[in-house]
A and B are shown apart, each in its own frame.
Chain A
């Protein structure tokens, strides 16, 4: 009974935020996929070929794969906007569990009820994770809707056949064909990337809740979490940009967030989605989708567990 009451409390506190983020996420994913369909991949490839070679190192996946419809659609999961929308939920909710309630003064009456702090903590964590699952599911659903409702134009050239070999006649008049995007992109392939987004969210949720467990001011908790987020993001950029500092990727949680590479691995082989290691376009051996998800999940759950221990043992200060 008390569990239901707690769930009701957390729902009433957070449904508006969740609904706003869900609307933002759905619009973004649908529009992002639709925009992919607006550009003819073959023309896009020509543009990409003109880019300096150094730029390729910023991509976590093979550049040739990246210019395909599948690759460009998969990059939706790497978009900072989508990450911000999804992680906003876990950061805002995670930071609220202890320091939010303490700083608002609402922890007093809640903790005076015959409900253990453990139950308060894990109910909150479960609710946050459920909301996260909903948001990543919406991300996938609206990417899929975008794929199902978008048509793409492809420029093709007549081919000349020499026995078993065919050559495009690029000197001839090109033929523009309009086809359904779903013929080129299978939405199911994005599921491993979505799982990576989910585990990344669990990690950030765990970190936010852990910070909240020992803090008493929510503004400070949010500041620490936001600082951590941008610092870790910056570290990933450094790791990608410089071979000398490529080791930095193992010091940032973003190093384990690579949804496009999960999609790429799955598109090449079904079992690629559970591969332990993968080879990058630069020939480096990097953690595979399974290791990425496992590391993020273990860190996230570990931080939730640690935060729970802190919350159970700490003094609850009077509201200021």
Chain B
């Protein structure tokens, strides 16, 4: 089974975001290592990875904050480093740790950021702020962390840009507002905007994303559409048979990922489940369980071990 899925329904369209061999080094430390990634238009794209995996570095390269050490990143065909001002016309960005000037009121700041870009709108900022239950008259310096996050979201989500880059948009928010933020992301998608959604909350990624990529130690470790992921299942059972040898004999070894430890076996399969179940029915299995693989398992598989151990 491949960790890279390039067969999504969007793949034939010109990608909005493309990274080709994108690398970034800080001295000897390689924060990004030859990342090859494309993001089509109109999708919500989840970006996952533990701290230090390279997510923020990847986003900062897309925004032209960092000059790539090698390779190239483009948004709408524009080079993210050389044409960054044009790129910023195409992008609205919410930083992971949004810090805002403390000497202004929220309203003033929303107006300021709306005026800084041709496609900004103060009215839309106020609308988003109202939906997020933000008190717009308050001084930024007197706001809590959550309120500042709401303000930054009001600014970022109000922009009518083709691409929204949201780095942990739901951090520091209460569950109600988190739900509203996810609704706003869905609305952005329905308006034709593309969203890059970086988060540590896997359930949120599963809720709103169409595709997901996982970075590990600066490398792209996994990329797949969540639609395809729903067709992946894990079967656990106890048996005395050598299931892997049987799969080789029956010509199924390439379709299945099998890990067997003594009598316990775990099989991961992709696509239609019925032929596999029919094949398994010919074996003497006990305590059989079938479940969707899910993002959590894939994330753990990539970051803990290469193969899931039973």
Contact = CB atoms under 8 A, between A and B. Distances in A.
Interface string A93-125: 000000000001110111111111000000000
A16 to B, nearest CB: 8
Contacts of A8: 112, 115
B65 interface: yes
B148 to A, nearest CB: 11
Of listed A4, A12, A112, A116, residue having the most chain B CB within 10 A: A112
B196 to A, nearest CB: 13
Interface stretch (B13-21, B100-108, B299-307): B100-108
Contacts of A319: 97, 99
A116 B64 CA distance: 11
B244 to A, nearest CB: 45
B25 to A, nearest CB: 11
A315 B63 CA distance: 11
Contacts of A164: none
Contacts, number: 79
Contacts of A104: 99
B56 A113 contact: no
B100 A113 contact: no
A182 interface: no
Nearest to A115: B116
B88 A113 contact: yes
Contacts of A108: 65, 93, 95, 98-99
B117 interface: yes
Interface size class of B (residues with CB under 8 A): 20 to 34
Contacts of A105: 95, 97, 99
B118 interface: yes
Contact of A114 (B56, B60, B88): B88
Contacts of A9: 101, 104, 112
A115 B66 CA distance: 16
Given A12-B104, A114-B88, A316-B65, A106 B116 contact: no
Contacts of B95: 105, 108-109, 112
Interface string A44-72: 00000000000000000000000000000
A4 B112 CA distance: 9
B239 interface: no
Contacts of A106: 99-101
A114 to B, nearest CB: 4
A113 B63 CA distance: 10
Contacts of B104: 9, 12
Given A2-B116, A315-B65, A109 B85 contact: no
Contacts of B98: 108-109
Given A108-B95, A109-B95, A318 B60 contact: yes
Given A315-B67, A318-B56, A114 B99 contact: no
A114 B67 CA distance: 17
B128 interface: no
B187 interface: no
A113 B108 contact: no
A105 B152 CA distance: 13
Contacts of B152: 109
B93 A112 contact: yes
A264 to B, nearest CB: 43
A2 B117 CA distance: 7
Interface string B147-159: 0000010010000
A114 B89 contact: yes
Nearest to B85: A116
Nearest to B118: A114
Given A5-B112, A108-B95, A316 B103 contact: no
Interface string A1-25: 1101110110011000000000000
Contacts of B115: 1-2, 4-5, 8
B86 interface: yes
Interface in A281-297: none
Contacts of A2: 115-117
B86 A13 contact: no
B113 interface: yes
A5 B101 contact: no
26 contacts: A2-B117, A5-B112, A9-B101, A9-B104, A12-B103, A12-B104, A12-B108, A104-B99, A105-B97, A105-B99, A106-B100, A108-B98, A109-B100, A112-B92, A113-B88, A113-B113, A114-B85, A114-B88, A114-B89, A114-B118, A115-B85, A115-B116, A316-B60, A316-B66, A318-B56, A318-B97
Given A5-B112, A111-B63, 12 more contacts: A5-B113, A13-B103, A105-B99, A108-B65, A108-B95, A108-B99, A110-B116, A112-B91, A112-B92, A114-B88, A114-B116, A115-B116
Interface of B: 56, 60, 63, 65-67, 85-86, 88-89, 91-93, 95, 97-101, 103-104, 108, 112-113, 115-118, 152, 155
